[in-house]
Structure 1
């Protein structure tokens, strides 16, 4: 199977619980050159905050996905291209592997045709998502390869996501995940802050995900990372 992410180099993640920097508009966000926008965050999520960002982005021609942290903040919106549901494969709390997803499945009229999971491997122990899911971040490269292979080859995941949220990750670990995937698209997120960091991580992952940079530094910094990711893949 294949999805639109097969052709992506860069994704911009917008956190509805955070403001855009002064002078930055959603038009700037949607025309930054990124291949898709993912709307989501770990804490502070509400349906109203999600809806406000979706409404602001819907005026522009860019793939738009919601990544809800829990079923209660899911919004039904035709303007969304779909829903990407994290499943944290190295979570210590099994609720974040399948439990939350069981609750998702109990929602009336789940739009299964537009719903996919992302097999997360969380590797920054200081990240909110690591604490939230009780993730085991003390992994060897071989274990990361194993998780990636299990996600891809046993569970049939279309997306494997190496998450270092809050810091730039270890390229050896990202490459270990790349070694484990065959059909899945490998996403990397965490600490990408400029052209060079995007270029480096795009050399190991299929897609780089940029999030906090938008809210902390603004749109020009994001555009640098878009160029870095696309240049890395053009050079392959």
Structure 2
């Protein structure tokens, strides 16, 4: 049976092990009422900084999951693991290559009972993740919907993550994606800098992920929790 530890999440904060967050700010995030903490980032992740962040989050009683984008940061002790693939990458390694390499060496160590596939659509060309993965972001709405259908209906990927990292996306399109899904759970992330955009995203996706605002405007980030939960 596919794990579903994320199925009840409406709101999650995404924390990057490579970015500094003080103890008071971390406490505010963890006690905010969010459903979960998602740990991940596009660069600068190491085993040590991931372990350190997990140990700090574990002072609080809330779910914490890891995006396992690199086998070197495969830290045990998370409640769940997302294994991401970038559907619209121009490089095979970000769709399946890195995954095969990792499983060849470490597949016997992966906690399959708490790991799920996560299909990304990266749609902001100026984001770090788009540059890193060489994502094709010049897609029509029809192409974006087709990618989502491939992930959802052909491959039965449990989680589809629409990522506009650094800018706020097209919410009517995100809603169309959600309405077209048969079984995948839709995450949305990107440009959520306060409660208004959080409410819009919550009306379009199953789960709203807030990341950069934690580091740039903590009060606004914290306000997104109630904005999402009160819809």
The equivalent residue for 1:225 is 224
State the alpha-carbon separation in 2 of the partners of residues 10 and 161 from structure 1: 13
Matches within 5 A, 1:130-141: 130-141=130-141
CA displacement 1:16-72 (0-9 Å, x = unmatched) = 111115x73432221111101011100111110000010001121111111133111
Q: How far off is 1:74 after superposition?
A: 1.3
Distance 1:37 1:69 in 2: 16
TM-score (norm. length: structure 2): 0.94
With 51-60 and 171-180 compared, the bigger mean Cα shift is at 171-180
> Is the Cα contact below 8 Å between 1:124 and 1:130 reproduced in 2?
yes
Give secondary structure in 2 for the equivalent of 1:17: coil
Equivalent residue number for residue 100 of structure 2: 102
Gaps of 5+ in 1: none
C-alpha separation in 1, matches of 2:92 and 2:179: 25
1:91-126 per-position Cα deviation (integer Å, ceiling 9, x unaligned) = 111101111111221214221111111110110011
Structure-2 residue corresponding to 1:49:
49
Taking only aligned residues, the RMSD between alpha carbons, in angstroms, comes to 1.5
The aligned length equals 228
8 Å CA contact 1:146, 1:180 repeated in 2: no
User: Is contact 1:86-1:118 (8 Å) kept?
Assistant: yes
Q: Return the alpha-carbon distance in structure 2 between the equivalents of residues 104 and 228 of structure 1.
A: 39
**In 1, Cα distance between equivalents of 2:3 and 2:202:** 20
Give the aligned partner of residue 170 of structure 1. 170
Which residue of the partner structure matches residue 80 of structure 2? 82
Q: Secondary structure at the match of 2:131?
A: helix
1:2, CA displacement in angstroms? 6.5
Aligned equivalent of 2:14: 13
Cα distance in 1 for residues equivalent to 2:230 and 2:141? 27
Deviation per CA, 1:109-162, whole angstroms, max 9, x where unpaired?
221111111110110011111111111111111111111111111111111110
How far did 1:87 drift?
A: 0.7
TM-score (norm 1): 0.92
Q: Which runs of 5+ in 2 are unaligned?
A: none
Kept after mapping to 1: 8 A contact 2:3/2:116: no
Name the structure 1 match of 2:187: 187
Q: 4+ residue runs of structure 1 moved beyond 3 angstroms?
A: none
Range with greater deviation from structure 2 (192-201 or 178-187)? 178-187
**Structure 2 equivalent of residue 205 of structure 1:** 205
Between the aligned partners of 1:34 and 1:43, the Cα distance in structure 2 is 25
